[in-house]
């Protein structure tokens, strides 16, 4: 019987690629999204993957959303914490709203979502929790104190939760993408990408969303049960750890 996978932020960019790759690998996939109804409906029409709208920064919304997904598809066995936002500015200009919005969505959501499914995973003696962190959570980034703090927190969350659940058939891992060819990166002026970003990447190109998705499928597999507490860097050699 196909395992159920839930992908937050799963209808656009990296999340959409993850949702599609998991479906192609035989999973029953649910894709969460927060606000872009048009993009979500287009994704649903094109892929046949069911979509569910809620704000991952709200614990209560996550509880209700997971309950609906499990009622429709069955117990969630693979959770991909992918949803994230940016509110970039230098720290001395950063507002409390810019700080809390990023921390609550990019880090708080890991608690809000994983807390809904971890007891079921423990009871069934199987689970996969995969969180999408970032290269900037590893090395830091100018203008992203909020984002870098949240993404670094994702890695700490991963390591501690992995330790707590390693004996129970549950693996917890993080993936740190580098610069990926998504709408967010495409919004950067072309000359900035070509002069400042791509020259820093040893493979001399942006990554593709599908390359992150392949890493998720690998970590989600039953056969990946000996990999836990790990951080997989997918950044073209830009930052090596």
- Supply the residues annotated as catalytic: 147
- Rounded-to-integer distance, Cα 198 and Cα 105, Å: 28
Among 195, 235, 201, 200, which Cα is nearest to 215's?
235
DSSP the chain: -PPEEEETTTTSHHHHHHHHHHHHTT-EEEEEESS-HHHHHHHHHHH---EEE--TT-HHHHHHHHHHHHHHH--EEEEEE---------GGG--HHHHHHHHIIIIIHHHHHHHHHHHHHHHHT-EEEEEE--HHHHH--TT-HHHHHHHHHHHHHHHHHHHHHGGGTEEEEEEEE-SBSSHHHHTS-HHHIIIIIGGGSTTSS-B-HHHHHHHHHHHHSGGGTT--S-EEEESTTSS--
On the CB side of 76, CA atoms within 13 Å amount to 30
On the CB side of 117, CA atoms within 13 Å amount to 32
């Amino acid at each position: 019987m196909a395992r159920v996978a839930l992908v937050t932020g799963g209808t656009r960019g990296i999340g959409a690629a993850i949702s599609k790759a998991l479906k192609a690998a035989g999973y029953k996939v649910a894709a969460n999204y927060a606000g872009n109804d048009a993009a979500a409906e287009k994704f649903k029409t094109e892929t046949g993957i069911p979509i569910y709208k809620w704000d991952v920064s709200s614990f209560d919304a996550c509880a209700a959303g997971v309950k609906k997904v499990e009622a429709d598809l069955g117990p969630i066995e693979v959770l991909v914490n992918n949803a994230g936002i940016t509110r970039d500015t230098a720290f001395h200009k950063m507002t409390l709203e810019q700080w809390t919005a990023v921390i609550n969505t990019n880090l708080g959501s890991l608690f809000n979502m994983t807390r809904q499914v971890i007891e079921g995973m423990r009871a069934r003696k199987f689970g996969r929790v995969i969180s999408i962190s970032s290269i900037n959570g590893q090395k830091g980034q100018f203008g992203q104190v909020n984002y870098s703090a949240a993404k670094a927190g994702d890695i700490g969350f991963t390591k501690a939760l992995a330790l707590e659940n390693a004996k129970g058939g549950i693996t917890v891992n993080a993936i740190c993408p580098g610069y990926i060819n998504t709408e967010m990166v495409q919004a950067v002026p072309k000359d900035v990408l070509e002069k400042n970003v791509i020259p820093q990447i040893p493979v001399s190109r942006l990554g593709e969303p599908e390359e992150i998705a392949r890493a998720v499928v690998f970590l989600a597999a039953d056969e990946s049960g000996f990999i836990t507490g790990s951080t997989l860097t997918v950044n073209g050699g830009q930052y090596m750890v």
